[in-house]
Amino acid sequence: MRNIDEYLDIIKNAIINIEKYINSSSEYLKRIELRQIKMDLENCLFLLKNEDFENVENKLHEIQNKLKDMKINISLLSFSSVNNEEINKNNVSNNSVNPYGLDFNDLDEDEILKQSIDADIPVFLHGEAGCGKSARVKSIDPDCEIIYLRQASPESLNGKSINSNGEMKDIPPTWYTKLCEKCRNEPDKIHILFFDEITNALPSIQGMAFNIVLDREVNGKWKLPENVRVVAAGNEEKDSLSANKLSAPLFGRFAHVYIKTELDKWLLWASRHDIHPAVYAYIAYRKGDILRTPYNGETPNADPRKWEMVSKMLKKNGNPKALRAFIGEDLATEFVAFCSQKVITLEQVLNDRYTEQDLKLDTSQQYATVVGLSAVKEKDFIKVRKFVQNMNPELCKVFDGMWAHGDKERLDIIQEARMEMQNNIRKVG
What per-residue confidence (pLDDT) applies to 122?
A: 95
How many CA within 13 A on the CB side of residue 387? 27
Q: How far apart are CA 210 and CA 198, in angstroms?
A: 10
Residue 401 burial (C-beta neighbours within 10 Å; 0-12, 13-18, 19+): middle
Comparing C-alpha atoms, which of 219, 144, 135, 149 is closest to residue 183?
Answer: 144
What is the structure's pLDDT at 366? 92
Query: Could you write out the DSSP letters of every residue in 98-154?
Result: -TT--------HHHHHHHHHHTT--EEEE--TTSSHHHHHHHH-TT-EEEEGGG--H
Surface-to-core class of residue 70, CB atoms within 10 Å of its CB (0-12 exposed, 13-18 middle, 19+ buried): middle
Q: Can you give the pLDDT at residue 23? A: 74
Taking residue 205's Cβ as centre, other Cβ atoms within 10 Å add up to 23
CA nearest 338: which of 301, 319, 365?
Answer: 365
Helix (H, G, I), strand (E, B) or coil at 381: helix
Class of domain 109-258: alpha beta
Give dist(CA 184, CA 397) in Å, integer: 51
Domain locations along the chain: 4-96, 109-258, 263-428
Q: Which residues contact 230 (CB under 8 A, 6 or more apart)?
A: 122, 123, 192, 193, 195, 212, 213, 216, 224
Grouped pLDDT means (10 residues each) for the chain, 429 residues: 71 83 70 78 74 78 85 67 41 55 80 92 89 88 93 93 84 96 94 93 90 93 95 75 74 90 85 89 85 88 92 91 92 92 94 92 90 92 93 88 83 84 67
Dist. CA 199–CA 125, nearest whole Å:
11
